[in-house]
Amino acid sequence: MARRFAAPARALTEDSLRRVARPLYTRAPSRRVAEFTKPERPQTLLQDLLAYLAEKHFGEATDLLGVLGFGVTIWQVMRARSAAEHANRAVLDVKKRLASVDIAMELTSAIALMDEIRRHHRSENWMMLPDRYSVLKRHLITIRRSSHTSLSDEERTTIQSAITQFTMIETQIERCLHNEDKSPNVSRLNSIVAQQIDAVFEVVIAHRGRLQN
């Protein structure tokens, strides 16, 4: 009995093995295997284009590279020019700022000289006054002629008025020094000086306000 059923069992077993083993040889590669073995493509469209032109049209590829290089050069030049213009503007701003600070110092010195001149008037120190007038006018002329400041036309007119007034006072004192019989009117002179001090001080306040902004 055992020998009768042994052969069919063995045949069935071989049949089953063939049916099971057949798909292992006929099954298509899995998607993951296909993706793993798939050749890599260039990463960018530009690389695809350059590779195609290099293979099919070498001359066109060379021309395209030349155009691209020229475009990059133009971009770099424009970028450098923009940086240079920005640097020039920064330098001009610094120069204007420094000039404004210098003018503020000139204005302060001018007011201090006016106060000194007024004291000399009271003491009737006529011999030393012409030199002080000349120094004061140099300060005022420097302020008026400065081209890097934010002084308005009205403020420049105020400075010019002060120059004119002190020029007239200087001329009067010079005449008095050559004619000892005629003494200057101290009260009138100091009234003119006081008016100029007030006017120039208004310019100082306005100028300092602009420097702080």
**Residues above pLDDT 90, as percent of the chain:** 31
CA torsion angle 70 76 81 82 (round to 10)? 130
Spatial neighbors of 147 by CB under 8 A, at least 6 apart, are none
Task: Look up the pTM and report it.
Answer: 0.56
The three state secondary structure string of 18-40 is HHHHHHHHHCCCCHHHHHHHCCC
131/60: higher pLDDT: 131
CA dist., res. 152 & res. 206, Å (int): 10
Dihedral sign (CA 49, 53, 59, 60): negative
Per-residue model confidence as pLDDT tens digits over 87-126: 777 766 667 777 777 888 889 999 999 999 999 999 999 9
Distance (Å, whole) CA 95 – CA 91: 6
Superfamily classification of domain 97-212: Nucleotidyltransferases  domain 2 (1.20.120.330)
